[in-house]
Chains A and B, each alone.
Chain A
């Protein structure tokens, strides 16, 4: 047996890091069931309840972009523009190339009457020409000139 395997400082550290790992990945309440329930509720149009599920999931996994984006969409559906903007921007800080978050951020700006980043919308349109949501967004922005 190597010397380090008998060293109690090393063994204690291994126990500590393993215990934190077990907590983080096994014992800690997982976000997935709440997220999936939120998706079901969102698809049924029950946005307020969906938002609650996404917020519970967000509290457990604040870095999961998929949760953050869905929390943004739910808020947008409920016309909570400031909250929606917060979630989309946070998603973009973690993953700047996330299409859903870019689209949501542009949409929330557009719906709340703020200046829309037209360059971003054009870039999205050229990258995803077949995405109906992107096309609808681009059309809306063009029709309003990007400004209220």
Chain B
């Protein structure tokens, strides 16, 4: 019995070792590719003049779709900031997804909206709208009221009503930089191949000062939890997504800041309601649909446009968020599992999707197990010091290198944190976030995976306390 337990320990330790070696090898490849991609994009972005894009007659109109459910506190500043975005032609569609608070009435009051009878063509399946409201003062603004059906359902209603060739899903708690949409559109216009997705960088707004829906001062948040998330977002958006995009294997584009081609999304069936992360699912559906049609297409990830979003301030809310993300990721990879190691999906099928399925979706269980088992094995004497140190380096030390590298890359390219003290603080958190924070999120993600396996597949609401607002000077 004792021998069998030791053999099992050896086997599990081998699984953990192979997992960490594979993970770190993939991250190294991604890091090198991302370094090249981000540097190249920074040079490219420096050459593109925003004014040219603003004045260009070929810059296509964009629909900004804001699904809102019980957002009465933040909806008016969000709409105001979206109206002020620099873009030649835009339509702004707010979909009130069965709010029980004053979301719709606040908008009606502030923008003088009036009921109207528009023609609605349900090209995508969604719950029928209950009413339309338009504003004579802001002709680009449209409010649609409907029964509650979830974010994906609300987005589908917005797509059905949109007239522009591209649309943009905006979370009601996100702030887009004034030229953000324009910068997202720039690579679309430059490409000779039809571009169906253009994603940008999402940053954490906690600590920043917001005035009338605009970031007026960038600063770091005060708590360790929020600062660790700042570093984590930098790492994700600079060392993950640009790399996959460069390899033509984009699988995730943040729903908070992503431009999509409307007809292609309609062709792919719109946003699905059978996963809790509809933004990941729609990218996979787009790949599937466009590959099936044999149409050439491109997805781009640009690192200069930035959207600011609020991160959870409490551990409990962070846990809910991570569980939901993990649950959604697992639902999506399981739904599209036939694309894994399928050469007809190119680099996505052979690299991107296997990475997201085995390392990101399922790997969290190995990571959480390793977090407990590695120190335990060492303490009970079932693991020699050399193996313990190797595993700790692979599990923790390498992550520290990646985090510090991404903060340095941020400073070398995007530079959204203006003070030296910000960079020094972020470097400090890049060093320490791997000791505690990362293990904690690994457990939350493992909980999400267990929720999937046990069939508890529900949406967990993440309550946010709002950004630091200042009155107009």
Q: Which residues of A come within 8 Å of B, CB atoms?
A: 7-9, 12-13, 16-17, 20-21, 23-25, 61-64, 90, 93-95
Contacts and interface: CB of A to CB of B under 8 A. Distances in A.
A7 B337 contact: yes
B9 A12 contact: no
Nearest to A95: B2
Tier of interface size on chain B:
20 to 34
A20 B10 contact: no
B14 interface: yes
Interface of B: 2, 6, 9-11, 14-15, 18, 333-334, 337-338, 340-341, 354, 357-358, 361-362, 380-384, 387
A21 B338 CA distance: 26
A93 B334 contact: no
A9 B340 contact: yes
19 contacts: A7-B334, A8-B338, A9-B358, A12-B340, A12-B354, A13-B362, A20-B14, A21-B11, A23-B14, A24-B10, A25-B11, A62-B384, A63-B9, A63-B10, A63-B382, A63-B383, A94-B6, A94-B380, A94-B381
A12 B380 CA distance: 32
A17 to B, nearest CB: 7
A31 to B, nearest CB: 11
Contacts of B384: 62
Nearest to B340: A8
A9 B387 contact: no
Contact of A8 (B11, B18, B341): B341
Q: Is the interface of B mostly helix, strand, loop or mixed?
A: helix
B467 to A, nearest CB: 38
B340 to A, nearest CB: 4
B341 A63 contact: no
A17 B15 contact: yes
B9 to A, nearest CB: 7
Contacts, number: 53
Nearest to B11: A24
Contacts of A62: 383-384, 387
Given A8-B338, A9-B334, A63-B9, 16 more contacts: A7-B334, A9-B340, A12-B357, A13-B358, A17-B15, A20-B11, A24-B10, A24-B11, A24-B14, A62-B383, A62-B384, A62-B387, A63-B6, A63-B382, A94-B380, A95-B2
Contacts of B14: 20, 23-24
A139 B464 CA distance: 74
Nearest to A89: B381
A12 B358 contact: yes
B70 to A, nearest CB: 35
B6 to A, nearest CB: 5
A88 B382 CA distance: 14
A61 B10 CA distance: 8
A67 to B, nearest CB: 12
Contact of B358 (A16, A23, A95): A16
Nearest to A96: B381
A93 B18 CA distance: 26
A91 to B, nearest CB: 8
Given A8-B340, A9-B340, A12-B341, A93 B381 contact: yes
Nearest to A7: B337
Contacts of A90: 381
A93 B380 CA distance: 6
Contacts of A24: 10-11, 14
Contacts of B10: 24, 61, 63
Contacts of B361: 9
B434 to A, nearest CB: 25
Nearest to A98: B2
Which 8 A-B residue pairings sit nearest by Cβ, starting from the closest?
Answer: A93-B381, A8-B340, A62-B384, A8-B337, A63-B6, A94-B381, A24-B14, A9-B337
A61 B9 CA distance: 11
B341 to A, nearest CB: 6
A61 B387 CA distance: 11
A48 B370 CA distance: 37
A8 B10 CA distance: 27
B382 A94 contact: yes
Contact of B362 (A9, A20, A64, A93): A9
Contacts of B380: 93-94
B453 to A, nearest CB: 12
